[in-house]
């Protein structure tokens, strides 16, 4: 019987190898059918097989991990898993860092996500990664804005605003044809102008602050299925 999906390489043949291939097929079919419970069970069995290098399948692991838990607990488990994978897969660290930042943003940990980026962005190859610079720019821009929406007179954080501009300018230099980045730079300049008007006179009515921008999964625009590799058909 031919396997539906390309199974991971194993060191044994015969019945055990066939069993692993079929289990791998079940896992991938369950993922395609959005049956997370069945897929997670198949994954847990595969991860315990010494023949399977489960760490090399980290994208599938993070997709299935803790799907049955509460949203906050789910993101916490996934971020812990991704931090371990970053240590064990240095060659994939750029990709894993993007996924880690996304998970932190989804769980509302914007400052922690920016801290992770600031740890890596000063060095190469991360410094030359457009997406990571855009992430840092969006996070700095969000954190620069007043978190108290009931008090519009609160000014923005000038230091974070400058850092956001620097990240976006670097990203634009790396990808000049990006049509999204100039919009953020325009917003930053507007916010700087508003801050200058606030500083000129405390007696004048301040200009309303721009709406607080919160980066999310749709804004970041990461293809969802990059987190779980599509299975490759074989004969």
* CATH classification at residue 178: 1.25.40.10
pLDDT band (50, 70, 90) for residue 195: low
- Does 63 map to a domain? yes
Quote the pLDDT of residue 180: 87
Domain co-membership, 57 together with 47: no
Domain co-membership, 4 together with 103: no
- Out of 6-15, 177-186, 223-232, the most confident range is 177-186
Instruction: Convert the pLDDT of each residue in 124-160 to its tens digit.
Output: 888 899 999 999 999 998 898 876 655 554 567 888 8
Domain co-membership, 74 together with 184: yes
Q: Is the pLDDT of residue 193 over 60?
A: yes
- Does 11 map to a domain? yes
Domain co-membership, 29 together with 101: no
Contacts for 83-90: CB closer than 8 Å, 24+ residues apart: 85/55, 85/58, 85/61, 88/55, 89/55, 89/56, 89/58
| 8 A C-beta contact, residue 82 and residue 96 | yes
Start-to-end Cα distance in the chain: 9
Residue recorded with tokens 């721009």: 210
Quote the pLDDT of residue 213: 53
Mean pLDDT lowest for which of 61-65, 97-101, 220-224? Answer: 220-224
Domain co-membership, 29 together with 119: no
Domain co-membership, 44 together with 112: no
d(CA 91, CA 77): 22
H or E element in which residue 195 lies = helix 181-200
- Out of 24-28, 64-68, 75-79, 161-165, the most confident range is 161-165
Domain co-membership, 35 together with 57: no
d(CA 108, CA 214): 9
CA distances to 83, 95, 97, 126, 143 from 119, rounded to whole Å, are 13, 15, 11, 10, 17
Instruction: Convert the pLDDT of each residue in 83-124 to its tens digit.
Output: 888 888 888 888 889 889 988 888 888 999 999 999 999 888
Domain co-membership, 43 together with 81: no
d(CA 225, CA 227): 5
d(CA 26, CA 38): 8
The boundaries of the domain holding residue 220 are 53-227
Domain co-membership, 151 together with 183: yes
Query: Tokens for 187?
Result: 């917003």
- Does 191 map to a domain? yes
Quote the pLDDT of residue 197: 61
Domain co-membership, 174 together with 101: yes
Considering its fold, how many domains does the chain have in total?
Answer: 2
Q: Which of 34, 52, 70 is the last residue before a domain boundary?
A: 52
Name the average pLDDT for the chain: 75
Percent of the chain with pLDDT over 90: 14
Residue recorded with tokens 């990709």: 95
Domain co-membership, 88 together with 198: yes
């Amino acid at each position: 019987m031919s396997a539906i999906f390309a199974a991971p390489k194993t060191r044994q043949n015969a019945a055990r190898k066939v069993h692993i291939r079929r289990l791998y097929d079940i896992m991938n079919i369950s993922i395609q059918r959005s049956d997370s419970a069945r897929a997670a069970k198949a994954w847990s069995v595969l991860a315990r097989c010494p023949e399977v290098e489960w760490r090399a399948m980290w994208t599938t692991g993070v997709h299935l991990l803790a799907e049955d838990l509460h949203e906050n607990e789910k993101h916490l488990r996934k971020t812990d898993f991704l931090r371990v994978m970053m240590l064990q897969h240095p060659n994939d660290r750029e990709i894993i860092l993007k996924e880690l930042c996304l998970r932190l943003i989804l769980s509302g940990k914007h400052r922690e996500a920016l801290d992770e980026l600031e740890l890596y962005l000063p060095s190469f190859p991360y410094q030359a990664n457009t997406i990571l610079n855009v992430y840092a720019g969006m996070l700095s821009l969000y954190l620069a804005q007043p978190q108290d929406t009931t008090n519009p007179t609160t000014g923005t954080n000038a230091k974070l605003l400058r850092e956001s501009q620097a990240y976006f300018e670097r990203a634009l230099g790396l990808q000049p044809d990006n049509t999204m980045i100039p919009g953020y730079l325009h917003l930053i300049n507007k916010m700087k102008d508003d801050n200058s008007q606030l500083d000129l006179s405390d007696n004048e009515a301040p200009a309303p602050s721009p709406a607080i921008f919160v980066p999310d999964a749709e804004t970041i625009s990461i293809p969802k299925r990059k987190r779980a590799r599509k299975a490759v058909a074989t004969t």
